[in-house]
Structures are given as structure tokens and as C-alpha cells.
Structure 1
Amino acid sequence: MRASKPITVTLGKQQRSVDERLESGAYNSASEVIRAGLRALDREEEALNAILREKIREALDEPGPDVPAVEVFERLELRHAERMKSLRS
């Protein structure tokens, strides 16, 4: 029994990217290209998650004073309002 099952994927503009990789000889099949792309996506997500975990760890370890959520949201709303105003000008 197969460990994986065949699927149908519509690539649209990405089809050209698959075709170029096949024509270059770097890959033997569209399946290889897609699997390589998924492995790259997995690596990217793992790297981003590691960065986010580190940022969270740094924030939790920071000795600075806590800022009440109400104050944080007030600052964000003010910043957003200022940006919207500058876009309208």
C-alpha cells in the first residue's frame, strides 16, 4: 500500500516555475519539485517559529515594567489614526 496518495493540483502561474525546473534537469518530476517546495516551506516556518519563540522569551525576560493592555491599545489606535490621517493628506 502507498504511504501517500496522488493528488491533483492546479498551479496557475507557478506551472512555469515547475516546468523550468524540470527542463533544467534539476528535478525528474513535478512531484519532486512540489516536495522540495514543501520542504522549503517547512524550513521557513520552523525558522520563523524559532525567531518568534526567541522574541517572546526575550520579552518575557525583560525587566521593564508591565504596560496595561488598555494603554497598549490606546497607543495602537492613536498610531493607526495618525497613519490614516497622513494617507488622506
Structure 2
Amino acid sequence: MRSTQQMSITLPVEMAKRVKQRVSDGDYASESEVIREGLRALQERENAVEHWLRTEVVATYDAHKADPTKAKPLEDVWKRLKARMDEIDREEN
């Protein structure tokens, strides 16, 4: 049984140019390799999001459900976030 399957895909012109450029630059041996690498990167990102959801988001949700009094009002969170963003802006200037 073959481990690959031939497909025909249609890409927007700019994406197709980018694929061809990566091959002509020598980054990849073929257009198929570019597409495979893109799909691997997409899978890695999806796995990372799934891991984040299962670990951090679920844990935070469970902690909130166990003790809702520890939750911070949204207004307070926005104030802290804005203050931090202002601080970063000052540091950059």
C-alpha cells in the first residue's frame, strides 16, 4: 500500500508564488515538501492549542467553579492590563 496520495490543490496566487519561491530559494526540494511542512506546522499549532485548553483553561475553569470568590471583576482585569501596557510603552520610549 502506498504511503502517499496524489492530490490536486488550488491556491491563491500569492500563496502559490510563495510555495514556488521557497522551492527556488532551495529551502525545499519540491512544492509538496512546502505543503507538507505547512500542514505539520498547522498540526503542531493545533496540538499546542489543545494542550493549552486541556491544561490551563480547564484548570482555571475548575478553580473558578470550586471557589468563585477568587475571580476578579473584569473591570479590575482591564485596569491592570492597561496599566501594564502603559508601562511597556514607557519602557520602549
**TM-score by structure 2 length?**
0.63
Equivalent residue number for residue 8 of structure 1: 8
Q: Secondary structure at the match of 2:21?
A: helix
Identity %: 37
1:59 paired to 2:61: yes
Q: What are the ranges of 5 or more consecutive residues in structure 1 without an aligned counterpart?
A: 66-89
Stretches of structure 2 lacking an aligned partner (at least 5 in a row): 70-93
The aligned counterpart of 1:34 is 35
List structure 1 runs of 4+ shifted beyond 3 angstroms. none
Structure having the higher helix fraction is: 2
Q: Deviations over 1:11-60 (max 9, x none)?
A: 12310110110111010001100000000000111111112222122111
Number of residue pairs matched by the alignment: 65
